[in-house]
Structure formats: structure tokens, C-alpha cells
Amino acid sequence: MGATVMQPTSATSKQAGFTLLELIVGLTVGAILLTAIYATFVGVSQTQRRVETVLDRTATWRFITETIRLDLARLKTTSIFSGSEEEFEAEFFRGIEEESVRVRYVWEDSQLTRTAGDSILVVDLPEGYQQPAFTYELDGQWEGTTDALPNGIELQIATPRGALTRVFVLEFDPKVESEEGSG
């Protein structure tokens, strides 16, 4: 039985594995790539959260202003109206038969409550929105209170970056229509 002869190794023979130096370099390059990928992922996640927050705030603001706009479109020159900075109440008309409905908007802290008959809608303003207020245009002047149907209504809210304002100009001039109706 023959003995197995081992082949001598030399610098010119082929290597069958990695050297320690190659392994360290490979791990370092891999760690750098993983760190860059992780940093990118974290940055994208934070950006996505900020965008979602802005979109949520914008959607809430748009919903509030669109709801008010739709209600104000139902006012008539004969509508009963009273308002202050914190709230307003008006008589709106809906449907073909123009059924009279009392609608009330009330700000409490950063929450808007809309009551129309038996229906109640509560909308919370996004975090950081504060000091909501209504003002009313009467005879070219903006007032904080009124017991008469205004020509326009302004909604203003302080935001973390400034103020948002939305002005609703009523689709008719109460004075003109009442003069036309009396003649």
C-alpha cells in the first residue's frame, strides 16, 4: 500500500480561498454600502412622514373650507344670520322645495363642530393649528360680529408656519337683491 504524497505548495500554485486581507477589505466595503443604504432608507422614511403630515393638514383644511363653501352657497337674501369670531349660525335652504335648515359652526380650541338639524360633524384641526376665527364683511368693512347677512365671510387660522386665510364671498349681494325684490 502506497503512501500518499502531498503536493508541495509554492507561491506559483493556485489559491483555494481568500486571504485575511481580502476578507477584511470585502467586509469593509460591504459595511460602507450597508451604511449608505440604511441612511438612504431612513431619509426616505422621514421625508415620507413629513409629506403625509403636510397632506393630512392640507386635506383637513380643504375639507373644512369646502364644507363651509357648500353651506354658504345655500344662503338666500332672506336667510337669518348671526356670527362672532368663534361661531356663526345661519338659515340655509336645501332641496328642490328649499327646506329651511339651521346650520351652526362653532370653534372650540382647535375643533370645528358643524350642527345642521340632527346632523353633527366634528373636525379636529391638525397639530399646531390654532386660534381659528371668523370675520364678516359688512358695507366694505370686516367685523368680528354681526347679526345681519354679510357680503363675505373670512376664516383665518394660525399655523406653525404663519396664517392660512380663506375668504368666502357670497354669491349674491344682499342689499342689491333686497332692493330688487322691494321694487
Q: What is the model's pLDDT at position 183? A: 39
From 129, 137, 136, select the one nearest 112 (Cα to Cα): 129
Question: What pLDDT shows up at residue 109?
Answer: 80
Grid cell at residue 14: 493556485
C-alpha cell at 81: 344670520
Report pLDDT digits (tens) over 4-24: 666 665 555 566 788 889 899
Q: How far is CA 119 from CA 122, 156, 164, in A?
A: 10, 25, 27
**Where does the pLDDT of residue 38 fall: very low under 50, low under 70, confident under 90, or very high at 90 and above?**
very high
The reported pLDDT for the residue numbered 115 is: 94
Please give the average per-residue pLDDT across 87-100, as a whole number.
Answer: 86
- Give residue 24's pLDDT: 92
Res. 157: pLDDT tops 60 = yes
- DSSP code, position 170: -
Which pLDDT does position 6 carry in this prediction? 62
Contacts of 98 (CB under 8 A, 6+ apart): 76
C-alpha cell at 175: 342689499
Calculate Rg over the CA atoms of the chain.
34
